[in-house]
Structure 1
Amino acid sequence: MLRLDLQFFSGEKTEKATPHKRREARKKGQVAKSMEVSSALTLLLCFSYLMIAGQSFIEGCMNIFKRSFSEYMLWELSIDNTKLLFTQLLWETVKLVGPLFGVAMVAGLIANYMQVGFMINTEALKMKLEKINPISGFKRLFSLRSLVELIKSILKMSIVGGIAFWVVWRQMDELLKIGNKSIWDAARFIGSLAIQIGMVVAILLIVLAAADYLYQKFDHEKKLRMSKQDIKDEYKKMEGDPFIKGQRRAKQRQMAMNRMISEVPTADVVITNPTHFAVAIRYDFDTMAAPEVIAKGQDHVALKIKEIAKEHKIMTVENKPLARSLFASCEIGDTIPEELFNAVGEILAYVYFQEGRYKEMKS
C-alpha cells in the first residue's frame, strides 16, 4: 500500500523544471509571453510619436486632400494619368504613414525582446493536426485560459470605452462647436482628442499587460513542472542508465587491471606488505632515469600480482613501510619519488645479486 502511495505521489508534477526541460520548451517556442505587452507598448509609442509629429501628420493629410481637389481632379482621364496619380498618391501616403509603421514595428520588437530575448522559432509554423481537432478545440474553449482571456477582453473594452467617454465628456462643449471651426482647427482638435484618449488608454493597458505577463509566467511555470519520476527519466536519458553506466565503468576498470597485470612479468621485483599491498618495480639502467612502478594493488589485486610474479619467477621482497609508501605516493607508470631512491635501490641491488645480475645502480 505504501509503495502504491509513493508511486502515486512520484507522478505528481510538483518539481520545478530542469534547465534541460526549459531549453527544450524554448526550442519549441513555449515561453512566457503576453501579447498585451506588445499591444500596450505599440500603442504607447505610436501615440507618443503622434504627439511629437502630429502636426506634420495632419499637414500631410491636408496637402493630399488639397492636391486631390485642386490638381488631380483637373487631369484628363487616361491610363497614363491614372498610373501617375496612383504612384504619387501611394508615395505621399508611404511618406506619411511609413514612420508610424516603423515605430509600431520597433515597439513590437522591443516588447518581444523584453519578454523572451532573441529567439527565432519555426515550430509554430508547422502543420499540426491536433490544432483542428474539434474535441481539443472544445476543451480549449471551456478552459481556464479561455476564461482568463474573456475577462481580460472585457476589462480592456471597459477601460477603452470608459476612458474614451471620460475624455470626450470633458471636451463636450468644444465638440459641439466643431461645426463652427475651420477644417484645420477641427482636424487639430480631433487629433488632440484622439491622442489624449490613446495616451491614457496606453498607460492603463501597460498596467494590465504587466499583470497579464505575471499570469502568463505563472501559467508557463506550471505547465513546465515535472514529477520526480520525470526528473529521474531525464537524468537517465542525459547521463545514461546508472546500471549500464556502472557496468561500463566496471568494464573499463577490468581492462585497466588486465593491462596492469600483463606488465607484471616484466618487473624486476615485487615489494609487498606482505598481504595487503603489492608494488611491482621495473628498472632498465640504459633507458630509465629511475625505477618505475608498473603495477600495484591492494588485497585481492595484491594477491593476483604476487601469483603472477611467482609464475614468472620474479622475486618478491617483503618491506611493509616501503610497500605502503610506494602504494600511496606512486601511480602506475610513475617513477619512484626521490626520497625512496635509496630504499628501492638497495632492494634492486639485492635482487640483482641473488639472480646473478650485476648492474650499476644510481641513487
Structure 2
Amino acid sequence: MAEQQERTEQATPRRRQKAREKGQMPRSRELTTAAGMAGLLLVIHYGGANFMFKMKDVTAKFLSFQYGHDPFRAINVAMLKSFMMLLPFFLGIMVCAVASEIFQVGFMLKPYEPKLSRLNPMSGLGKLFSTDVLVEFVKSFTKFLGGGLVFYFIVRRDIYRWPLLMTKELVQIVSGTYGFVMSAMVWGLLYLFIIAVLSYAFARWQFEKSIRMSKEEIKEEYKETEGDPKIKSRIRSIQREQARKRMMAEVPKATVVITNPTHLAIALLYKGDKMSAPKITAKGSGYIAEKIRKIARENRIPIYEDKPLARALFQFEIGEFVPQELYKAVARILAYIYQLKGKV
C-alpha cells in the first residue's frame, strides 16, 4: 500500500488545471523584481535626459516664483509636475513586472478566499521552521551577499574617478554620476537576473514535485473523468439490450427474413410505393438469428434460405438499404414471396 501511495508519476493535465484554479503555480518574486528593474532602466536610458531637463526647468520655475508667491500652491504645482515626470518610470516598472507575472503563470484571476487556518498561531509557528522558510533565508542571504560583492567591485573599479569629479563643472559631475549609477544598476540587474532565473527554476522544480501523483491517484482520476470501467461496461450492455429489443420489434413488420440457414438471419422491409429499395431492419447471428426466425414464424413472415445472399447482406448495418449490386437477388426472392401470397 505504501508503494502505491508514492508519488512517482507526472501530473495529469486535470491535476495541473486544478492546481492552476487554486493559484498554485511556479512563481519567482526575484524574476518580477528583475523585470521591474529592467523596465526602470529602459525608461532611464531612453528618457533620462528629458527627465533631467524637465526637472531642472521645474526647479528653476519653483525657485523663481513662477508658480506663484503662495508657498502651498507653488509646492502643489511643483509636486504635480514632478509626479507627471515620474509617471513613465512607474509605468515602465509596472508593465515589465506584469509581463513577468504573465510569463510565469499566464492570465489568472483568482478571487481571494479567507482561510481561518492562517490565523492559527500554531500553524504559523510551524511554518517558521519549514523547508520553505529555510530556502527563502538562503535566497535572501545569497542576494544580500552577492549584491554587496557587486557593489564593492563597482565602487573599487570607479573610486579613482571620484576625486577628479570634484574639479569638474556641474554638468560633468552630473554626467559622471549618471554614468556611475547606470553602470551599477546594469551590473546589479545582471546579478539579479541570474538569481531570478535560478529561483524560477527551483520554484518550477518544487511545483512539479508537489503535484506529482501516485498510480492510485491516476486510477481514481480516470474513474472520475472517464467513469468506472465496470459501470461503463454495464451501461453498454444495457444499451445493446435496448437496441436489440427495438430491432426485434421491427421483425414482425418485415417483408421477408433471409437465412444462412441457421447461423445468420436478416430481416428486410420493402414497400414498393414508399421505398426505392428494400431496407435491412434486423439482423443477427447465432442466438439472435434464432430469435429472429422464431418471431418471423410467430408472425407468419416468410423465411427464405439463401446462404450467399445472407452472408452478403450481413455485412451492412441495420437501417441501410440493399445495395444496387444485390437488387436482382433480392428482387427474385420478393417476386417469389409475392407469388406465394397471390399478389401477382
- Specify the SS of the correspondent of 2:271: coil
Alignment of 1:168-187 (within 5 A): 168-176=155-163, 184-187=171-174
The whole-number CA distance in structure 1 between the counterparts of 2:229 and 2:300 is: 42
- 1:259 shift after superposition: 0.9
CA distance 1:310–1:291, change in 2 (3 Å): same
- Specify the SS of the correspondent of 2:321: coil
The whole-number CA distance in structure 2 between the counterparts of 1:70 and 1:169 is: 41
Aligned equivalent of 1:58: 52
- Specify the SS of the correspondent of 1:8: coil
Of the candidates 19, 36, 45, which is equivalent to residue 13 of structure 2?
A: 19
Alignment of 1:1-20 (within 5 A): 7-20=1-14
Give the RMSD, CA atoms, in angstroms: 2.3
- 1:148 shift after superposition: 1.8
- Specify the SS of the correspondent of 2:2: helix
Aligned equivalent of 1:279: 266
Deviations 1:36-69 (A, max 9, x none): 1111122123124323433333344444444444
The whole-number CA distance in structure 2 between the counterparts of 1:259 and 1:127 is: 56
CA distance 1:73–1:87, change in 2 (3 Å): closer
Task: Supply the AA of the counterpart residue of 2:187.
Answer: V
Of the candidates 259, 269, 276, which is equivalent to residue 256 of structure 2?
A: 269
Alignment of 1:254-333 (within 5 A): 254-328=241-315, 330-333=316-319
Asked whether 1:352 is paired with 2:338, we answer yes
Contact 1:264 1:305 in 2 (8 A): yes
TM-score between both structures, scaled by the size of structure 1: 0.87
Contact 1:48 1:199 in 2 (8 A): no
The whole-number CA distance in structure 1 between the counterparts of 2:163 and 2:120 is: 53
Of the candidates 336, 340, 344, which is equivalent to residue 322 of structure 2?
A: 336
Contact 2:67 2:77 in 1 (8 A): no
Of the candidates 101, 104, 110, which is equivalent to residue 122 of structure 1?
A: 110
Structure 1: which 5+ residue stretches go unaligned?
Answer: 1-6, 359-363
- 1:176 shift after superposition: 4.8
Contact 1:274 1:318 in 2 (8 A): yes
CA distance 1:296–1:94, change in 2 (3 Å): same
Of the candidates 32, 35, 39, which is equivalent to residue 41 of structure 1?
A: 35
Identity %: 35
The whole-number CA distance in structure 2 between the counterparts of 1:216 and 1:130 is: 24
Task: Supply the AA of the counterpart residue of 1:346.
Answer: R
Provide the aligned length of Structure 1 versus Structure 2. 344
- 1:135 shift after superposition: 3.3
Once the two structures are overlaid, the 10-residue window that deviates more, 257-266 or 241-250, is 241-250
Deviations 1:104-161 (A, max 9, x none): 01111221232233x13124x2212223333333333222222221111111111221
Contact 2:40 2:93 in 1 (8 A): yes
TM-score between both structures, scaled by the size of structure 2: 0.91
